[in-house]
Amino acid sequence: MTLTLTVSDEVRAIAPGFTHLAVEAHGLVNGPSDTRSAALLDDAARRLAERLDGRAPHEDPRIAAWREVYTAFGAKPSRTRNSAEALARRALADGGLPRINLLVDAYNAISVAHLVPVGGEDTDHIEGGMRLIRAKGDEPFPTVAGGEEAVEHPEPGEVVWCDDEGVTCRRWNWRQGVRTRLTEESVNAVFLLEGLAPMTNGELDAAGAELAASLERLSPGVRITVHGPR
């Protein structure tokens, strides 16, 4: 894999069973949301409703596991929800899932259908490797606040994804930074699927394979490598 992904011992200590799968893609063609990506999102919302069968997302064991881990590093899971829970709640609401762009729609659909946190990073904007660590608190996190560019900092001990330039995603998978997010100009990316028990490696593999297939349909000619759970 061109991009290295590492998980620190401090993170392993609070989530010993954590695994992640990476879908590496080169030669993507992104663009505005269209009927293809909308269909992926609509199908994902339908599958979610069937899975939950009237329950709230946080009552599903997969989301409950993420809430426990968030609590373990000091986050309040009812206030700063993991990305899978946040998307699932939107999928069940009257407004439904947002349409962002083809690539973001594709990975959001996988997140909702499988109740698994999924993120997409533009690898052309990543500096060095990506690391999942417990923050010192002085790492920069470029974001937008009130319509203006701003730089925030994580709380000491907060679990964050970062590269050599700073934080790329705060509170594990709660909020992605603007520097590495996927835009309509993105052509190379890594999609990260994150698993906790009771989700099995086989289920994580299945979600990754489905994402790879969606990317191939949306971007004919894309070169994809799936790096299995580790």
Distance, CA of 99 to CA of 37 (rounded, Å)? 8
Nearest to 70 by CA among 159, 143, 168: 159
The radius of gyration of the chain's CA atoms, rounded to the nearest angstrom, is 16
Cis peptide before 198 (omega within 30 of 0): yes
How confident is the model over 160-180, as a mean pLDDT? 97
Identify whether the C-beta of residue 19 lies closer than 8 Å to the C-beta of residue 222: no
Which string of b and e fits 4-27 if b means at least 16 CB within 10 Å? ebebeeebeebbeebbbbbbbbee
For residues 10-33, average pLDDT: 97
Report the first-to-last Cα separation within the chain, whole angstroms.
Answer: 13
pLDDT of residue 42 exceeding 70, the answer is yes
- Residue 1 reports pLDDT greater than 70: no
Tokens of 201: 């490696």
pTM of model > 0.75: yes
Measured CA to CA, the distance from residue 7 to residue 10 in angstroms comes to 8
Stretch 167-173: mean pLDDT: 98
